[in-house]
Amino acid sequence: MRVLICFLLFNMLCYGQNEENPQKLNDSAISIYKNNPKKAISILEKSKSIAKAKNQIFEEARAINGLGLVYRDLGDFNKAIELSSQAIEMSSDSLLVASASNNIGVCKRQLGEYEEALTQYLKALNIYDALNEKSKEATVTNNIGMVYSYLGANDKAIEYHLKAKDVFEELNNKKGISEVYNNIAIIYANDGDLQKALDYFKYSLEIERELDDKKGIAESVNNVGAVFYYLQEIDSALVYFKKSAFFRKADR
């Protein structure tokens, strides 16, 4: 009985410490914000207040940038930009500045402000490259490729996508490689080179099948079907569209 009481007291003490620890609160919020954004916002607001009261400027800035990430995912891009910009003003921590700059870049891209998005992405890329943060470097490089494609600079876009692919391969990040192939396929499709688009969509599909990612398979199969449709190969297109519907249903 005494052991049980001590165990319960220990857990309560640890819980209380976590409740007042901005670093742990920030870590907790970032781990759940994709699936539970409302709860993440509540945790981050609490962390921000506690960090401010304790004069923990870095954790306060981190909480603010975390809010920027959540609001970006919720589609409130202007608010996300405001928050991440505030975080940059508060802290000179390199990783935080890179994360906030990338977040601003994503928001600017979504708002169609491609030149500003490119500026922010390149700022983040330079930091990640200097710190040898390979995974984040690859993600930002892939994002830069997307912006160049929106600007109509397809050769530059493919160059950055292939750079991202090389890093993803180094990290054995198959999902990242699949996303790169998908992005390159879209460029070729928009440029009217449907055969190359088909090849790259199939490369992406092959990886999604390796990963057994039902959602990824469904999207890739649908993309292959779309290319067959534009190639006027309607029977093949229908086969792939039916397969896509099957995998979408399986993913539910």
Q: What is the residue extent of each domain of the chain?
A: 13-91, 193-252
Q: What is the pLDDT of residue 252?
A: 64
Which residues, given as ranges, of the chain have pLDDT below 70? 1-19, 251-252
CATH of span 193-252: 1.25.40
Q: Among residues of the chain, what percentage have pLDDT more than 90?
A: 77
pLDDT of residue 237: 83
Provide the pLDDT for residue 20.
85
Q: What is the pLDDT of residue 18?
A: 55
CA distance 114 to 148: 8
What pLDDT does 153 receive?
96
193-252 has the same fold as 13-91: yes
Share above pLDDT 70 across residues of the chain, in percent, rounded to a whole number: 91
Q: Is 13-91 assigned to CATH 3.30.460?
A: no
